[in-house]
């Protein structure tokens, strides 16, 4: 895929040297208005945006995988429907509503956005991890018990590694959703690339909207692609 280096170059240029694109975006900016967003550096907005997504996704992964492990143990099987309901609610509840509800409790800033992204990200990871952990190859699991691995050793040495590729697919979905969703965090003063888009909307400046949207989109595509590559590698190792 020769497209990948091109996209990476385009993204880097958009973030680090936005002024290069003045001629491209100029026709979209309002007459006499600014073409390139300059109220904050795009690099620092990007880093803050990615940081929020990474933190929320990490927390969602830890919680969702832990839950998945618990409900796939014999003792936890009874909690499976309940956990599913909870994670489902996390996803059906609109992130905007979560933001609105979280602001009184957490104040403006990164807090409410983190909560919204975290809740929104739980479901795909939980579903995939649960499915992966409950459909492991039976002969391998029987052998793992048969040769004398303890429960913990089975989990760490066999179950989690074998469940990893499918779990990672869930994480990928979750991260990509979070990358897009994080933009609305700007409405409650979280520093994300949404700031650029919203500034564009408020000032009728399509150049800003396009700039912000393009950067977010490119991050999403490239991260998605990178995670797909990792999954392929892992899955190939696990034997196909």
Partner 1 sequence: MIEIDSITKVYGDETAVDAVSMTVQTGTITVIVGTSGSGKTTLLRMINRLEEPTSGEVRIKGQSTLAVKPHILRRRIGYAIQGHGLFPHHTVARNIGAVPELLNWSRDKTEARVDELLDLFSMEPAQFRDRYPGELSGGQQQRVGVARALASRPDLLLMDEPFGALDPIIRTRAQEDLRRIQRQLGSTIMLVTHDMEEAIRLGDRVAVMDAGKLVQHGTPAEIITQPATDFVADMVGDVERPLRLLSLIPLSDLVEDGTADGAPLSPADSLRDALSACLWTGRSAVPVVEDGAPLGRVTLDAIRARARAHT
Minimum separation from the CB atom of position 135 to partner 1 (A): 14
By beta-carbon proximity to partner 1, the closer residue of 29 and 65 is 65
The span from the CA of 114 to the CA of 63, in Å, is 14
**Ranges within 220-239 binding partner 1 (CB under 8 A):** 237-239
Q: In Å, how far from its chain's centre is CA 63?
A: 14
Minimum separation from the CB atom of position 160 to partner 1 (A): 10
Tokens of 61: 């992964």
By beta-carbon proximity to partner 1, the closer residue of 23 and 148 is 148
Minimum separation from the CB atom of position 228 to partner 1 (A): 19
Minimum separation from the CB atom of position 158 to partner 1 (A): 6
**Ranges within 125-184 binding partner 1 (CB under 8 A):** 137, 139-150, 153, 157-158, 161-162
Backbone angles phi, psi at 9, to 5 degrees: -60, -45
- Angstrom CA distances, 39 to 64, 184, 212, 223, stand at 37, 18, 13, 26
By beta-carbon proximity to partner 1, the closer residue of 84 and 154 is 154
By beta-carbon proximity to partner 1, the closer residue of 38 and 150 is 150
Tokens of 128: 């995939």
By beta-carbon proximity to partner 1, the closer residue of 3 and 240 is 240
Minimum separation from the CB atom of position 133 to partner 1 (A): 15
One-character DSSP codes across 2-57: THHHHHHHHHHHHHH-GGGGHHHHGGGSPTTS-SS--SS-HHHHHHHHHHHHHHHH
Binding site for partner 1 (CB under 8 A): 137, 139-150, 153, 157-158, 161-162, 237-240
């Amino acid at each position: 895929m020769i497209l990948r280096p091109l996209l990476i170059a385009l993204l880097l240029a958009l973030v680090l040297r936005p002024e290069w694109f003045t001629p491209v975006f100029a026709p979209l900016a309002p007459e006499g208005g600014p073409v390139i967003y300059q109220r904050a550096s795009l690099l620092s907005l990007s880093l803050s945006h990615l940081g929020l997504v990474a933190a929320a996704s990490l927390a969602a992964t830890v919680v969702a995988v832990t839950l998945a492990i618990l409900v796939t143990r014999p003792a936890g099987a009874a909690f499976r429907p309940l956990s599913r309901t909870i994670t489902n609610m996390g996803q059906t509840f609109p992130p905007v509503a979560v933001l609105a509800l979280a602001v009184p409790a957490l104040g403006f800033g990164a807090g409410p956005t983190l909560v919204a992204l975290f809740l929104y990200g739980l479901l795909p990871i939980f579903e995939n991890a649960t499915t992966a952990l409950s459909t492991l190859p039976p002969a391998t699991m029987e052998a793992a018990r048969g040769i004398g691995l303890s429960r913990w050793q089975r989990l760490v040495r066999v179950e989690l590694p074998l469940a990893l590729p499918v779990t990672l697919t869930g994480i990928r979905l979750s991260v990509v959703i979070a990358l897009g969703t994080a933009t609305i965090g700007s409405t409650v003063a979280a520093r994300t690339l949404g700031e650029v888009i919203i500034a564009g909307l408020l000032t009728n400046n399509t150049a800003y909207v396009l700039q912000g949207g393009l950067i977010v989109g490119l991050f999403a595509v490239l991260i998605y692609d990178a995670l797909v590559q990792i999954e392929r590698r892992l899955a190939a190792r696990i034997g196909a």
